[in-house]
Amino acid sequence: MKASDVSRCQHAGIALATVDPPPTGKTWLDHLLPFTTLRSPRDYGVAAARWARLSAGLPGVVQRQVTTSSSLAIGTGNFSPVENGLTLHGTWGVPYLPGAALKGLALRAAVRFGLSELESEVIFGTTASRGYVNFDDGWLLPDPDRPLFELDVMTPHAGEYYSSQGKEAPDDSREPVPIQFLVVPKDTRFLVTLDCPESGDWAEAAMTILAFGLQKLGLGGMTSSGYGRFTVEPVGKGQS
């Protein structure tokens, strides 16, 4: 796909996976700019509303609206013709929060709460059995006035160290190499759903732990640099 066609594509994932590399004399900055104009597909809002309605009726369900308070870079290691990948919904091509990633973050956060071994097994399970709490994918809450992506930049300066397989020492005197990549913008909203059919109290406890992780630890890549932080609110707050 030509970069000039990206803005007309209804599936950002397909566009990102098939965009042609920049021609000689052009940079990825010129090539990635069209992605910052993309919005959620026309019919996605219907699907998201249906999921919100159906999931709210699950037994033992707990839902929260989470909003990025910093840029989100999730799935940077995914295959992509550009420098960094991005986790996008397979059907709709919009950003989402994988349930497995949310569960992993909650497990990290649980260490701070001092859960007993039994409590941890109930929520998260073990290698031999699944936990009682289901961590569903976090769905993007669509906003037709907001773009799905924005451009960010990193400036690694240890290329010689990596390309020489450690023969060259890393130091701060090397020339930085700007790399543009796509992130999910600040103030992007998602619906996070946990459920425990046996007891909603366990889902509530798991959500408290997950909320701490989203607010303090961060989700996705580069969290040590401040990426992937969220605010957590009751469902419906801030929606028109």
Q: Residue 31 belongs to what domain range?
A: 3-234
Mean pLDDT score, 5-34: 79
How far is it, in rounded angstroms, from Cα 77 to Cα 91? Answer: 20
List, for residues 216-225, the tens digit of each pLDDT value: 999 999 999 9
Ranges of beta strands (E only) in 58-215 are 61-68, 134-135, 139-140, 150-154, 179-183, 189-195
What six digits make up the tokens of 166?
């450690």
Q: How confident is the model at residue 25 (pLDDT cuts 50, 70, 90)?
A: low
CA distances from 146 to 3, 93, 95, 172 (A): 21, 15, 13, 38
Domain assignment present for residue 239? The answer is: no
For the chain, the average pLDDT equals: 88
pTM, full prediction: 0.88
- Residue 178 pLDDT: 78
Domain assignment present for residue 240? The answer is: no
> Which residue has better confidence, 220 or 235?
220
Could you write out the DSSP letters of every residue in 62-73? EEEEEEESS-B-
Is residue 79's pLDDT more than 90? Answer: no
Domain assignment present for residue 219? The answer is: yes
Mean pLDDT score, 88-92: 94
- Residue 240 pLDDT: 37
Three-state DSSP class for 138? strand
Burial (0-12, 13-18, 19+ Cβ within 10 Å), 162: exposed
Q: Which residue shows structure tokens 């260490």?
A: 111
CB 203 within 8 A of CB 62: yes
Q: How many domains would you assign to the chain? A: 1
Domain assignment present for residue 209? The answer is: yes
Nearest to 134 by CA among 143, 147, 146, 125: 125
Is residue 237's pLDDT more than 70? Answer: no
List, for residues 47-57, the tens digit of each pLDDT value: 999 999 999 98
List, for residues 96-123, the tens digit of each pLDDT value: 999 999 999 999 999 888 888 999 999 9
CB 233 within 8 A of CB 68: no
- Residue 8 pLDDT: 82
What six digits make up the tokens of 6?
């990206």
Instruction: Provide the CA 111 distance to its chain's centre, in angstroms.
Output: 22
